[in-house]
Structure 1
Amino acid sequence: MTALYKLTGTLQQYAWGGESYIPHLIGFTAQQNQPYAEWWLGAHSSSPSMIEIEAREIPLNQFLKQNPTVLGEQSRAMFGDELPYLLKILDVKQPLSIQLHPTKQQAEIGFAAENARGVDLKDPTRTYKDNNHKPEMMIALSDFWLLHGFKPKTAILHTLRERQSLSALADQLEKQDLHSFYATIMQADQTQLANWLLPILTQNQLTNLTPENPDYWVLYSQQEMAISLDKLDAGLMCFYLFNIVQVKQGEGIFQDAGIPHAYLRGQNIELMACSDNVIRGGLTPKHVDIEELLKVIDCREVMPELIPAAPQVNGLFTYTTPAKDFALANIRYDNTSKINGTAKNAIILLVMQGRLKISEKTTALELKQGESAFICADTDYQIDGVENGYAVLAKLP
């Protein structure tokens, strides 16, 4: 058995996706007026990548079931016979839902409870799709904007007091903890939402606002998502409660269990534990489970910490995060580069730019932008640069 295989990802065409970024990156022809939101590389059962074995393709999860040793001893000891991570490319044209992810224990309890109630895995009202947690990191591929965690309470009070229609909420927050206050906001009726938001939506213009201002994102989301003024979304209020974060190209951020967040605009690389557990809190046509959201949300005050960009020099660089399930490395090369590595556990490599050749004892693959490979555990490999560029490697820390 060889230790190096060509891998092909799968496409997710969610409504919020852009139309051209992913087709251009991966190298396929875009259809008109079609959203291309995510490109997945991994073995999640809902959309596994295809691995090429002797000129035929089989799903990666099936290959791993038949050949679990390719995952590596450390990986199998920690995570069983499944690939522990999922690598994605995202193109966020419209804001994504405000969401958070459960801890491993919360996921196991929630998944078992929905199974016991007989909720089908494909049921749109199902919250837990699997029994895993979903910490995640992202590296920006463009100027990127997102919401990330609750602002310090003092900053929220200041934001509310700056707006006449929200100033009474500041008085309320003075007497409450953040969790109780957030619960009140998320359970507000249309009359309350209209009192808070309509003055902001009707008295401002997007062109007069900057993205650092929460009013900008309230107007932007309402317009991009065609939210009706007589059917307002409580999620719009989160722009006044959460940190609005700008991540410059090359920088990143890590999102742990329970931290509320929402991607607002831009393209990124995302690497996460292999899970599809998303608990939503607004700005989405999908199922919003407020009861579960309030159980799982972490309302601590967060000062966002950015992951520094990889240096622009040839060689291997691994980003630092607290995750145990995954690590992301950046490998930059030109046509003189020769970089040697050892895969202790399974690795997925994706060429982001340029062209490279990867080889081990018996196999060599030449890969161009958008192409990817699966490297089996216990493999010594060499990467030779063919055309200037860089690739990313998903692996264990």
Structure 2
Amino acid sequence: MAGIYPLNGSLQYYAWGGNQYLPDFLHITKTQAHYAEYWLGAHPSAPSQLITADGELSLLDFLQQNPTALGTQSRQLFGDNLPYLLKILDVANPLSIQLHPTKKQAEIGFAQENAAGIALNDPKRTYKDDNHKPEMMIALSNFWLLHGFKCRADILDTLRQRPSLAELATKLASQSLADFYADIMLAKQEQLAQWLLPIIDAQQKAYEQNQLAMQNPDYWVLYTLHAMKISRDKLDAGLMSFYMFNIVNLQVGEGIFQAAGVPHAYLRGQNIELMACSDNVIRGGLTPKHVDIEQLLKIIDCSEIVPQIIAPAPQNQVYTYPTPIADFALSNMPYAKNTEISDRTLNGTILLVMAGEMTLEARQQKLTLKQGQAAFIEADTDYRVYGMQEGYAVLAGLPI
């Protein structure tokens, strides 16, 4: 039985995606306007394709036929399903304000929507599966995102610095963050206009002349307004998130972990994302997709958060990033030309070449992989990587 297989992922063409990064990374000809995400995994909505001696087979079907390829540890914890999903993202325009449910919340929500007869592909569907979706990301470029509520004192400062938001500072002083956020997300259009239009009008010129710092929430309000073509008479409550959430800037190689319930939004840049195998997203604005404020307010984590930045991987060694959960682990594998790395998988593993070229050998099999190409390595496989051209790969698996 072969231990390694070439693996082809699935592209997602969401409107917020860029148009060049992923076609260049994958060395493919552009046929779409937007290339947002490249998925490697076995999620039922877009499983990757395995290349076998008998032709192509979805990774989902392969694992159903060969569950031992997942490994004993993986099967004990997660059954006969690949527990993670690996992605490359190109964020050209801001993503929706969003969060992900806990496992229990996902199971309840999925069952309720099934019982209500809402089709899985219905745009108004909130729960696409019964799994949680903790996720980590590593920046491939200068990357900007929103991540969790700032500490209360910082939110108060931010509001007081803007005359049209000063009344909100007074309100927050006597309210919990959860109640305060709920009131804002449920605010009517006239109220949003009173808060936001004075800021938009005052900062428009500075924004157009590139005079606003990117750490300034006003910059992102103006940027999002333009990027998403939001009109002045249809303001989105999600714009207020820029004044309440941490605006985080990651340098290349740095990362962050998003736990269940923590509100976040990717704003700009490219990244590697590794998550539990789920597509459950509860959205709170800044999107043409289904927004479910009721569910959002039920499960949002309103804790004050100081973002914990994951440090870049050390150079010249295989390194596994720390994560606080059992569903996945991401490893960084740099290789130089004419160098060899040997290792053994305990669980089903996906390897993706990010730069350079390598050969991957196992059990009398040999694959040559270039940037953008991937392989699935079965559990309990001794394998060797040989550097053909200097570069690095990432490996998705489980924590050991």
Taking structure 2 as the reference length, what is the TM-score of the superposition? Answer: 0.98
CA distance in 2, matches of 1:159, 1:374: 48
- Extract unaligned runs of 5+ from structure 1: none
SS at match of 2:165: helix
CA distance in 2, matches of 1:30, 1:309: 32
- Partner amino acid for 1:19? N
Report what 1:77 is aligned to.
76
CA RMSD of aligned residues (A): 0.7
- State yes or no: 1:9 paired with 2:9: yes
SS at match of 2:133: coil
CA distance in 2, matches of 1:119, 1:55: 37
- Extract unaligned runs of 5+ from structure 2: none
CA distance in 1, matches of 2:11, 2:318: 28
CA distance in 1, matches of 2:331, 2:174: 46
What's the CA shift string for 1:205-254, capped at 9, x where partnerless? Answer: 31220110000000000000000110000000000000000000000000
Report what 2:25 is aligned to.
25
CA distance in 2, matches of 1:200, 1:350: 44
What's the CA shift string for 1:89-148, capped at 9, x where partnerless? Answer: 000000000000000000001001111111110111110000000000000000000000
Q: CA deviation at 1:55?
A: 5.2
- State yes or no: 1:295 paired with 2:298: yes
What's the CA shift string for 1:69-102, capped at 9, x where partnerless? Answer: 1000100000000000000000000000000000
Report what 1:341 is aligned to.
343
- State yes or no: 1:319 paired with 2:318: no
- State yes or no: 1:376 paired with 2:375: no
- Partner amino acid for 1:44? H
Moved over 3 A (4+): none
- State yes or no: 1:260 paired with 2:259: no
Q: CA deviation at 1:56?
A: 1.1
Q: CA deviation at 1:323?
A: 1.9
Aligned residue pair count? 395
Taking only the aligned residue pairs, the percentage that are identical comes to 62
- Partner amino acid for 1:22? L
Report what 1:305 is aligned to.
308
CA distance in 2, matches of 1:61, 1:358: 23
What's the CA shift string for 1:300-321, capped at 9, x where partnerless? Answer: 00000100001222x3111111
Match of 2:275 among 272, 275, 292: 272
- Partner amino acid for 2:17? G
What's the CA shift string for 1:332-366, capped at 9, x where partnerless? Answer: 00112111111000000000000001111221111
CA distance in 2, matches of 1:134, 1:277: 7
- State yes or no: 1:396 paired with 2:395: no
Report what 1:387 is aligned to.
389
- Partner amino acid for 1:210? A
CA distance in 2, matches of 1:337, 1:78: 35
Report what 2:197 is aligned to.
198
